[in-house]
Each structure stands twice: as structure tokens, then as C-alpha cells.
Structure 1
Amino acid sequence: MSRPPLPIGTWGKISTRVEKTDVKGKPVTYLAKARIRDHDGYVRPVTAVGGTKTAAERNLLQKLQDRARTNQSGQLTAMHKINHLLDLWEKRFEGMVADGTRSPTSLDTYRRSLKNHIRPALGELRIGEANTPRIDTILTKIKTRAGAPTAKTCRAILSGAMSLAVRYGAISVNPVREVDAIEAKPKNPPRALTAEEVTLLRKSLAADERAVQSDLPDLVTFMLGTGVRIGEALAVLWHQVELEAGTVEITHTIARIPGEGLLRKTTKSRAGERVLSLPRWAVSMLRARHAAGIRLDDPIFGDTLDGFRDPSNSRRAIRTALSPVGSTARRDLGLTLRALRRKTGMTRKQVAEVLTWPQTRIELIETGRIKVDHQLVRTLVATYNITPEDSPTLQAEIDAATQPAESDKLAWIRSHALRKTTATALDEAGHTARQIADQLGQSKVSITQDVYLGRRAANPAAAEALERAFEDPDLL
């Protein structure tokens, strides 16, 4: 019976011999040799040298491993580490980004999940060891530690990577396919601003000096009048606006890519490229900005140097303008509490550990960005060995900070709520879901209906129809 051949990508026994000696006959160079079965099926010798027998064998082993990885057919084996598989998957995704079929922001998101969650948990395992129970356990831990959205992202990455392993012949079945679905609490239903909230929002931003400096009033007006994403609004150039026709062309979005900075890239999909008609009040706002002097290649909403603005910074500016920091009393109390903490020599982290609170909660209190009550403040200052009754000044600040503020009505608003407000307004005006999806630049109408359209409180027409249907007294 003939001896079975070496498996593809593996090698036989490593042998070594003295290759070179010095004048005294002492070995100075060793040669290590082995035969590897390449991925075309041929068995070939591979050699390496080193100053010692161990060094020669180590150098040869590295060459053999590199040869097994960088093969002509691109195949993997079940013995390859998952880190190597993830490297291949990431490189393929980079290629899709370069081709324009995937977004660079998606690549950035996936890289963070790979670095922070997947590689530490699975990277050193062999591909063949990544079975369904093990992956399911790891994803459950990620969900507990980082939340369901992060776990879903990790599941998508692992599914794509294991599909690649199946195509390359390392495994026969994708183990992620049978992993239990990642369930999460239902998201809050879509919430749009009412007409009264829109009026309050505009007044609040116009009266906020920092919001005006951040150019938020006009930016919010533009987003309400178009329904565009904040990155799309920041990417619009003046030559894309037709004031006479009252239209704006949406073709790009702004994203920050690590290592590259701000990038003006094409929209997420072809549906994102669109020409939108503007309401008269949005045109009036643009005319006023245009009259102040512009260059056609400048963004409408640029930074102080007429360059592109960072969407993250703009979102943060909106959150700051609309958060409870609008209450001066809360801001003053926060400064007092910060001074008391520093007087004790404690850090936020130390206080959070004593109270078993998230550290961010201490920060939000000290910056006046969270609604407080007497019990919360009493619990916090007890850590500093202080009671509010011992300090009339502190007690007065607490009383003032616990009063409702007008800005509380707007604290829930984020930049995406403006987009939902536009969608809901169009829905109430009788536009179809397809028309609204086209306005928002979405290819799937289901996303528009499920995520962007606020539910109406009642349908009077339904009641009228039921009254007509069941008006027979015998049915009562």
C-alpha cells in the first residue's frame, strides 16, 4: 500500500546539516531542508540557513509558513489562525471600498470591532476550532459587554469571514449561520418634531450665541427643508444650488476616515444622488447667505476657513445647543460640584467607583447636561462628606437647578430627528412612501416606512368607515 501524499500546504520532516565551517572546522552555517506540497499538488524542496541548527530550522519554518499562506490558489486550511482569515477578509473589503462598492466609514466601523472585540476573543484560534457553540458564546459576551448593536456588527463580520473560509476550502459549513439571532429591546418608535417644537427649536438656536457661531440655525433650516443627512448637507457646494429654480443637487457626503481626515465621498447608494426642490423659506435663507459673498466651489456650510466641516463636530454642537445645558442654573451647580470634588482630591473615576455609577454620569452632572433632583445631588455630595443643609448657598443652587427648563423640551432631539420630521411632514401631506424615500435618498421603501415615518395618533377616516359599516341597530 503506497504512502498517502502530504496534505496541500503542509510539509514533511525537517532535516539539518552543516553547510559551512571555519578554518578550525567549527560549524558557522547550518542548512535546514524540508519538502512542502504546494497548492498545485507538486512537492518541492525548501531550504533555509542559519548560524545555528536552531536558527536554520526556525528560518525554514517561517519560510514554510509564509509559503503556505501566500499560495497561488488563495486557499486556506482549517489549521490557519482566524487572525489570518480576518486579514484576508479585511483586505477584500478594502478592495471593495477602493472600487466604490462599499463605504470607507463601514470599513472604519468594522476595523474597530475587529480590534476591540473579534481579534481578542477569536484571533488565535484555528479556523477549524471556531465552531457554532464557541462563536455563539463569544457573541453573547460581546452583547453583554458592548451592547446588541456591536454584537450584530461582530456577527456580520464573522459571517463574512467564515463564508470566505468556506469558499477557500478551509471549512465546509459556515458556523455563524446557526448562531442564535441577536435580540435587542425594540427601538423607540420614530419621533418627529411637532410644528410647535420646530418653532421652539428655531427660536432656541437663534437665541443661543454658541449655536449661531456654529452656524446651526441655517444648517437646521436646510435639513428640515430637504430631509438630507447631516453629512450630505455639509457636502453641498454652491454650484449645486439653483436659486432661481429653487433646487439643490445632492451627490456627496462628508465622512472622517482615520488616517485620511475629512473626505467628500459619493453618497451611500445611487438612490442618494438626487435633485431636490426647496421650500421658499429655505431658498430665502440661501439667498441671504449668497448675498454675503460666496465662491462656487465652496461648501454652503463650511468651517471658518471655508473648508468642509466635520459631521461629528456638527452633531456635537447640536446636542450641546439642545441639551439641558441650556439651563444656567444646572451649569452653575455643575461647576460647584466639580469644585467640591476637586477639593477632596478625588477623580471622576474614583467617585464613580464609590457610587457604582458610570463615569460619564459624573461628567454629565458637572457639565450641567443632565436633569438632576435633590436625592441625586445629595447622594453625590455625601461622597465629599457634605450635606446640602450645611450650606445654604449649595442648597439654593440645587433648588434652582431642579426647576424645569425650557430647553428640556428639546433635549431629545438629534440631527436625525430633523430628517424624520421632514419625512413625517411629507407623509401627512399625502406623499407616497416611494416619493418620501426618493426625497430622503433611500433605495428601500421599507426602511422609510419603519424608521423614518412617525406614527399618526389616529385615523378619523377609519372611524367614519366603521360607523357606516356597522350602523345597523341589530348589530349593536
Structure 2
Amino acid sequence: MGSGRPPLPIGSWGKISSRVLKTDAKGKATQYLAKANFHDHDGHVRDVSATGRNKTAAEQALLVKLRDRAKVSQAGELTAMDKIGKLLDLWEEKFTKLVAAGTRSPTSYDTYQRVTRLHIRPAIAGLRIGEATTQRLDKVISKITENAGASTAKTARAIISGAMSLAVRYNAITVNPMREIEAIEAAPKNPPRALTAEEVTLLRKSLAADPRAVDADLPDLVAFMLGTGVRIGEALAVTWSQVDLEAGTVEITHTIARVRGQGLIRKTTKSTAGQRLLPLPHWLIAILRARQATGFRLDDPVFPDTTGNFRDPSNTRRHLRTALSPIGSTARRNLGLTLRALRRTTKQTRKDVATKIGWPQHRVELIETGRIKPTTDLVTELIAAYGLTLADSSDLVTQLEAATQPADSDRLSWIRSHALRKTTATALDAAGHTARQVADQLGQTKISITQDVYMGRKVANPAAAEALDDAFGDLDMG
């Protein structure tokens, strides 16, 4: 048996056939029907027809319809035969214009561009737009979920859906194939956890006793975040002109972000939920008054870098991670010094070692400075990079045993900046505040459409300051 007829390429048509559609009383043909199969942009083959007074006119009219159907709309040059890479280029170009207009965040664009470059383009850029079926795209999203996690897959899903929606608007396809793909659901790896009152006290004392944390201005910054529930970028964007200590309020309107190609920028919060006036608890007012006493200008940031300018949130998070891993004991510090000496005998940098064993460079630093609780496996893996084993040094084994003993600082190692927001929210919730009030305080997304439409988001919740006073006022926050 011979092979079947090859399928029509998307956007093309088969052989045109014609027949008489109408005749006059004498049997003479007065109207012809011309018809052809057309492989449409959604993958379906459909009949397309046209009529004319004679066979030639009908076929010419049909050709016009077929060419128009295969062509892109006049708004842009895009067809089902174009590669998805071209569609992604067009989508990114339009998103760039939205960023320039201020309706989209530049940090969102950076994220989308990274996910597109690393995950979407390698998977589908070579496909034609008309070949992007729901089944094919579902497999792509599943693979991204498996390889990069649910968060990246959700971003990829939004990008591809947006691009395909653009293709529909440009008549390259008739239906968005992403529409039927199931939503991506995944439980968070580390569910948010709030600090207890005892942990807040331990954190404050640990930061105040750590010279590196004090140099990084972390004690007051952490207190500000606990007392307001703001994000770290929002805290770093606050200027003294937005702080009214007499009224006991702070206005949150901007956030600090680093944008590729632009550097550090201060931009408005991405939603109206982020625009809010917050009350300040009394203990936080006292901290801010002490900062003002050292001198300030209204346009200066409340938490500047060493040059008086706005701080980089990424650097600040790194300083916070280091501070949340304080030197737990003299034994850990001594072990770290020994490990550093061993590394130096091999003439390797921390980066060299981290690359060799596949660690973040920051982890090598934490071990060598005694800022992480060591384990036998951790140290064994580290010294293997130096050509050593624990059996080579009984002194190292003794130091390791002493360094693994529990320390108070171990209770802080789980904390990340988001935990501060969770702690603020938990304190307000425990004081009986509604979900609406807590969401307004934290500048979170709307709880429901009704609440968003009928309840003002900029109105401060005066009782929040009282609740935070009750929660932390006796914990030596000043």
C-alpha cells in the first residue's frame, strides 16, 4: 500500500474545485462555486468557498479569500507559519513599552526575560505558531515544573499564554492553546513561619551584639520591618519626608529594585495595595527619633548605604543572611579558622572550593567564620576539596565535636526577611484584626473583589500600632 497524502501545511490550501451553482431558464450557468480545503491556524482543515458569475471569477474570488485567511491581520506581520521565537520577540517588545509607560514593573520584565531565555525559547522557539497545540505546550510546562520548580513554571505559563493571546489578536491563530492547560499547584517548600516573642528578643540582641550587623545597619532596619510589616525593598525606599513622627505615621509609596541595564531604581509599588499610610508603634517612633538625632535631610533615605544613597535590597538580604548566622561559639570560630588555614595551604579561594564541590560561595564563608552549625558530612565534603579526610587529623575531629554542640544562635538560622512580615501579620491576627486590616497593613493583594472596591486601602489602621506595641513593646526594641 502506498503512503497517504501528506497533510497540508498550516496556512495553505489544497486543490481548487469548481461546479455550477445556478443556471437560468435555458440551462445556462449563471453562478459558479469554487471550493478548497484550508489548513486553518488552529490546526483544523476547513472548507473555504466563493462564488462568481463564471468559473474563473469564482476561482479568483476564492483565491483572494484564501490568501487573506493565510495572511496576518494588517496590524502586524504574523502568521501561523511564523516561528514562536518571532512571537516571543514581539511579546517582549510590547511588554517593554508597557514598562516604559509605567503600567508594568521593570523587575517583572527582568524575571520574564530570564525565564523566557532559560526555559521557554529552548523548548518552543523553533516551533511554528500553528504547531503550538495544547498537548504540546502542556508537556513543555510539565517539564519546566519538573526541572525548575512550580514557581518558574507558573511564570512560564503566564508568558506563553500572553504570547499566544497576542497571536490570537494578530489572527495568526484563532484560539489560545494555553487556555485549557491546568493551573500549576504546589505546596510551598518552606511554609511561612512567624517568630515567637522569645525569638524576636533573641534576634534583636543577636543583631545588636554583632559588629557586622551593626555596620550593615540591620538592628534598626529589622525593627522597622517588624513594626510595619513592609517588604525589605519598601523599607529601603522610605525617605524622611515620608515619616511623620508627630502623627506617628509613615507613608509607603515606593520600593527599591535593581534593574538590568538601569542599575538601582526607586519605583512606585506595583499595585495600589502597596500605596498605604501606616501607623507606627511607640517603640519604633523612639528608634526613628534616635536616628533623626544624628542629622538628616528630608529627601534622604531612612536606611541609606554607606554613601548616603539608597541601598541595594540584594546586598541587604545577604547581610541579613550572614547576621542570622552569628558566631555560635568560640569552638565554631576556632574550627572555621582551622578550615580556612587548610584551604589556604592548597592555594584555593573560597570561590574555587565552592565551584569544585558545587556549593554556594556564601556557605564556605559561613563555615570559615564560625557562622553555621557544622556537621560531620559538611566538613567531610569540604576538606575533600583539600585532598583530606577526617581520619587524617584527630585534632580536627576534636574541634568538630566541640563545634557541633547546640548554641542559642541556632534558633535564628531559619529566619529570612519574609518571616518578619509573617511575624507582624501574626501579631495583628492574634490581636483580633480582620484579614482586611492585616492585608492593608502589609500592602498585600486584594482579599476579594468586594473588599477591594468598597474598602479604602490608604486609610491607616490606628489600632495596628497599639497591637504591635503590646506584642513587642517590652522586648527591649529601643
TM-score (norm 1): 0.74
Q: Paired residue for 2:46?
A: none
Q: How far apart are 1:132 and its partner, in Å?
A: 2.3
Distance 1:306 1:349, change over 3 A: closer
Q: Provide the rounded CA distance (Å) in 2 between the counterparts of 1:113 and 1:38.
A: 41
Q: Paired residue for 1:109?
A: 111
Alignment of 1:23-422 (within 5 A): 72-74=74-76, 76-323=78-325, 326-327=328-329, 329-337=331-339, 339-340=341-342, 343=345, 347-348=352-353, 351-352=356-357, 363=364, 365=367, 368=370, 370-378=372-380, 380-381=382-383, 384=386, 386-422=388-424
Give the partner amino acid of 1:348: V
- CA deviations over 1:126-166 (Å, ceiling 9, x no partner): 11122223222222222222222111111111111111112
- CA deviations over 1:391-421 (Å, ceiling 9, x no partner): 2321222122212222110111111111111
Distance 1:230 1:372, change over 3 A: same
Question: Gapped runs of 5+ residues in structure 2?
Answer: 1-17, 19-33, 41-62, 450-478
- CA deviations over 1:267-311 (Å, ceiling 9, x no partner): 121121111111111111111111111111111111112110011
Q: How far apart are 1:434 and its partner, in Å?
A: 0.9
Q: Provide the rounded CA distance (Å) in 2 between the counterparts of 1:435 and 1:396.
A: 54
Q: Provide the rounded CA distance (Å) in 1 between the counterparts of 2:385 and 2:260.
A: 40
Distance 1:118 1:396, change over 3 A: same
Q: Provide the rounded CA distance (Å) in 2 between the counterparts of 1:334 and 1:446.
A: 52
- CA deviations over 1:18-50 (Å, ceiling 9, x no partner): xxxxxxxxxxxxxxxxxxx999x79xxxxxxxx
Q: Provide the rounded CA distance (Å) in 2 between the counterparts of 1:280 and 1:81.
A: 60
Are the equivalent residues in 1 in contact too, given 2:328–2:372 (CA < 8 A)?
Answer: no
Moved more, 393-402 or 205-214: 393-402
Are the equivalent residues in 2 in contact too, given 1:324–1:371 (CA < 8 A)?
Answer: no
Q: How far apart are 1:390 and its partner, in Å?
A: 3.9
Distance 1:274 1:361, change over 3 A: closer
Distance 1:370 1:132, change over 3 A: farther
Q: How far apart are 1:217 and its partner, in Å?
A: 0.6
Structure 1 counterpart SS, 2:317: helix
Structure 1 counterpart SS, 2:258: strand
Distance 1:82 1:336, change over 3 A: farther
Give the partner amino acid of 2:300: D
Give the partner amino acid of 2:150: A
Q: How far apart are 1:435 and its partner, in Å?
A: 1.0
Structure 1 counterpart SS, 2:277: strand
Distance 1:344 1:247, change over 3 A: closer
Give the partner amino acid of 1:153: T
Give the partner amino acid of 2:447: V
Q: Provide the rounded CA distance (Å) in 1 between the counterparts of 2:379 and 2:64.
A: 70
Q: Provide the rounded CA distance (Å) in 1 between the counterparts of 2:299 and 2:328.
A: 36
Matched, 1:440 2:442: yes
Structure 2 counterpart SS, 1:210: helix
- CA deviations over 1:189-238 (Å, ceiling 9, x no partner): 43111111111111000000011011111111111111111111111111
Give the partner amino acid of 1:439: Q
Are the equivalent residues in 2 in contact too, given 1:132–1:175 (CA < 8 A)?
Answer: yes
Q: How far apart are 1:385 and its partner, in Å?
A: 5.2
Distance 1:38 1:431, change over 3 A: farther
Are the equivalent residues in 2 in contact too, given 1:192–1:421 (CA < 8 A)?
Answer: yes
Structure 1 counterpart SS, 2:179: helix
Q: Provide the rounded CA distance (Å) in 2 between the counterparts of 1:410 and 1:384.
A: 30
Distance 1:133 1:360, change over 3 A: farther
- Which of residues 424, 427, 430 is equivalent to 2:429? 427
Distance 1:349 1:190, change over 3 A: closer
Give the partner amino acid of 1:192: A
Structure 1 counterpart SS, 2:309: coil
Are the equivalent residues in 1 in contact too, given 2:243–2:251 (CA < 8 A)?
Answer: yes
Are the equivalent residues in 2 in contact too, given 1:256–1:310 (CA < 8 A)?
Answer: yes
Q: How far apart are 1:125 and its partner, in Å?
A: 1.4
Question: Gapped runs of 5+ residues in structure 1?
Answer: 9-36, 43-67, 448-476
Give the partner amino acid of 1:373: T
Are the equivalent residues in 1 in contact too, given 2:240–2:300 (CA < 8 A)?
Answer: yes
- CA deviations over 1:340-359 (Å, ceiling 9, x no partner): 4565678536753xxxx656
Q: Provide the rounded CA distance (Å) in 2 between the counterparts of 1:189 and 1:169.
A: 43
Q: Paired residue for 2:469?
A: none
Distance 1:81 1:239, change over 3 A: same
Structure 1 counterpart SS, 2:178: helix
TM-score (norm 2): 0.73
- Percent sequence identity is 67
Are the equivalent residues in 2 in contact too, given 1:324–1:405 (CA < 8 A)?
Answer: no
